Amino acid sequence: MSKKRLSGRRALVTGASSGIGAEIAKVLAAEGAGLILVARRRERLEALADQIRAAHGVEVLVEVQDLAEPDAAARLFERTEGEGQAVDVLINNAGFGAFEHFVAIPWERHAAMMQLNMVALTQLSWLYARAMRARKRGNIMNIASIGAYSPSPDFAVYAATKAYVRNFSEALDYELKGSGVRAIVINPGGTHSEFAQVSDQKLKKMGEMAMMDASTCARIAVTKMLRGRRTVVTGFMNAVSMWLLRFLPRAWLPRVTSLVMASAVEKASAVKGGTTEQAAPGQPSA
C-alpha cells in the first residue's frame, strides 16, 4: 500500500456538501487527512461524513456555516483553530455564479456573490495562513475557474471574482515562499455539480461534451497541490484554450467568450418559458 501523504493532518473544506468540494474531501481522506466539512446543509454534510468515515477511517467533523454572512469566516476560525482544531490544509471551494445580464441581477445577489467568492475566501486565507505560518507548514487551495482568464458577458461579476481569486492566490503563494506554507489556485472548466442549477444554466450538447466529472477534477486538484504547483487549469483542452487566449487582442475577449458560452449553455429559465427561483448562495464553484 502506498504511503498516505496527509496522514496526521487535518483539512477544512468549504462548499463540501456536493460537487467538487465533496469530491476533494474524499480524495483528501484517501490520503489520510482528517476533515472538517463546511457548508449550509447539515443533512448533506452528515451523510458525506458518514460515508468518508466508513471508507477511510478518518476523523470527520461537520461545521454548518453560511459563508455569505459577513461574520461567518471569523466564526469558523474560532470554531476550529480557536478551539484547538488546527487546520493544515484549507480548501476554499464555496462559491456561486449567476448567469444573466449584470443589470438584470438583483444587487443583493451580486453582493452575496462577492462576499462568498472573494471576501470570505480572502478572510479565511488570511486567518489560516497566519496560523499555518506560525507552525511552518500548511497548504491553501482556492478554487477559481477558467472564467478567471477572460471577461465573461452574462457572467460578469462571477468571472471577475474568479479573476480576483486567481491573482490573489498566485501572489499569496509567492509571498509565502520559504515559510513552509503553499497556496495553489485551481481553475476548473465545466464540471458536473450543482453549479449550473444554481446559476440558472442549461447545458447544450456542446457543453455536455466538455464537462468533467467532479471526482476527476478533485483528483487533479489534490495531486497538483501535493506536487507544489501554484496554478492549475483542469483538463488538457481547457489548459490549451486558456494558453491560446493570450494571443488574442484583449478587445476581442468578451466577444469570443460570449460566443463560446452561447455554444455551450443557455438560460434554464428561458428554456422553461419563465423565471426560476434562484437557489440560495453557498454552492460549490465550477
Report d(CA 22, CA 14) in Å as an integer. Answer: 9
Q: Determine whether 158 is an active site residue.
A: yes
Nearest-5° Cα angle at 113, 234 to 230: 30
Which distant-in-sequence residues (6+ apart) come within 8 Å of 61 by Cβ?
34, 35, 36, 37, 49, 85
Angle, helices 72-80 vs 121-135, to 10°: value is 30
- Burial per residue of 153-169, b for 16 or more beta-carbon CB atoms within 10 angstroms, e otherwise: bbbbbbbbbbbbbbebb
Angle, helices 19-30 vs 214-226, to 10°: value is 50
The side-by-side arrangement of strands in the sheet containing 181-187 is: 60-64, 34-39, 10-14, 89-92, 138-143, 181-187, 231-233
Q: Of 128, 149, 158, 164, which is the active-site residue?
A: 158
Torsions phi, psi for 284 (to 5 deg): -65, 150
Task: Give the DSSP H/E element, type plus range, for residue 260.
Answer: helix 253-264
Which residue in 211, 183, 113 sits closest to 155, CA to CA? 113
Cell representation of residue 127: 486567518
Contact (Cβ atoms closer than 8 angstroms) between residue 87 and residue 54: no
Which residue in 32, 120, 138 sits closest to 81, CA to CA? 138
Question: Catalytic residues, which ones?
Answer: 158
